[in-house]
Amino acid sequence: MSAPAEPKKLTKKDLSADHPTWCPGCGDFAVLAAFFKVLEKLQIPHEKICTIAGIGCSSRFPYFVNGHGVHFIHGRALPLASGVSLSRPDLHVFAFGGDGDGYSIGGNHLDHAARKNVNLTYVVMDNFVYGLTKKQTSPTSPKGFKSKTDPTGAIDQPINPMKKLVYGGASFVARTHAAQVKHMMAVFERAILHPGFSVVEVLSECVVFYPGIFDDGNPRKGGEFDLIDEKKWDDSEEDEARHDVSDENAAYQLASLQYPGKFGVFYETDRPTKNQLEQKWIDSSKEKVGDATAKDLLSSRFSGMK
């Protein structure tokens, strides 16, 4: 008897689908490239990869990944992805989207997916503007940003995504920059391996409607890519000052820093996932009814009504 054939190695070529429809120079190309590289590294079985998105430029993501995918409606990618994750523990579920989809129309779903700690990875490509609809103010547009809906400059205070995510209860919260592919890959990998609701906020420039906005975080454009110095737990003196990712207050402090702020993992905690908690209930419910079939269960319900 011969040994079973080694399964084919998953490559970027296998994972590439349609050529992205993004504008040349869009930050999202780098996000897609980093995602492919991490999948190549982790070698997740091809058919178990599931990418899900709502509406927006970045939400076109699933068309560009050759894998099971859903292009859903505006703002609702997370509840759909939660349904996939909760009913199919065998899959690796990824949700992608932008700031409008995730922080505005889908803002409430983000809070609830976070508090429920549904096991999936969510990547937000934040460009501080509505790009697909051609330059309207987004929930992350800074005050003073001139858009077609705020011709004299945005007047509303923008959302602070990192605070929202930590407050919402996401169990893994990180921030990265589309111009830093290696950092993006490292953060994606940690997010994927984290059990629970992991979110990565990626500053991803819209070169057409908000060019240059993220230069302050890009050394190649004269900015500073200021990384979070995580605790090494080495009992050294310098470790005292380093960031404890399990410290919620410290995460808020990082989130309060002046733009462009810091990059890396803000918060990470080990909390039971909704997947685990529901499975526990399913297991105990099933234990109570023994090996009853659907017919047995229905029959007993009906006899209780006689």
Q: What does the binding site for another protein look like in residue numbers (CB under 8 A)?
A: 14, 17-18, 46-48, 50, 52, 62-63, 66-73, 75-76, 78-84, 86-88, 90-91, 108-109, 111-112, 278, 281-282, 284-286, 288-289, 292-295, 297-299, 301-302, 305-306
Find all residues with CB under 8 Å of 193, minimum gap 6, and list them.
Answer: 42
Instruction: Name which of 92 and 243 has its Cβ closer to another protein.
Output: 92
Find all residues with CB under 8 Å of 8, minimum gap 6, and list them.
Answer: 14
Instruction: Name which of 53 and 124 has its Cβ closer to another protein.
Output: 53
Instruction: Name which of 197 and 214 has its Cβ closer to another protein.
Output: 197
Instruction: Name which of 48 and 143 has its Cβ closer to another protein.
Output: 48
Instruction: Name which of 233 and 302 has its Cβ closer to another protein.
Output: 302
- How many whole angstroms separate alpha carbon 74 and alpha carbon 166? 23
- Tell the residue number behind the tokens 């659907």, with chain if given: 294
Instruction: Name which of 3 and 294 has its Cβ closer to another protein.
Output: 294
Find all residues with CB under 8 Å of 112, minimum gap 6, and list them.
Answer: 168
Minimum distance between the CB of residue 102 and another protein, rounded to whole angstroms? 14
Question: Residue 45 corresponds to which tokens in the numbers above?
Answer: 């079985």
Instruction: Name which of 41 and 48 has its Cβ closer to another protein.
Output: 48
Find all residues with CB under 8 Å of 6, minimum gap 6, and list them.
Answer: none
Instruction: Name which of 72 and 267 has its Cβ closer to another protein.
Output: 72
- How many whole angstroms separate alpha carbon 54 and alpha carbon 123? 12
Question: Residue 124 corresponds to which tokens in the numbers above?
Answer: 């937000």
Residue environment code for 226-248, b if the CB has 16+ CB neighbours within 10 A, otherwise e: eebeebeeeeeeeeeebbebeee
- How many whole angstroms separate alpha carbon 144 and alpha carbon 213? 13
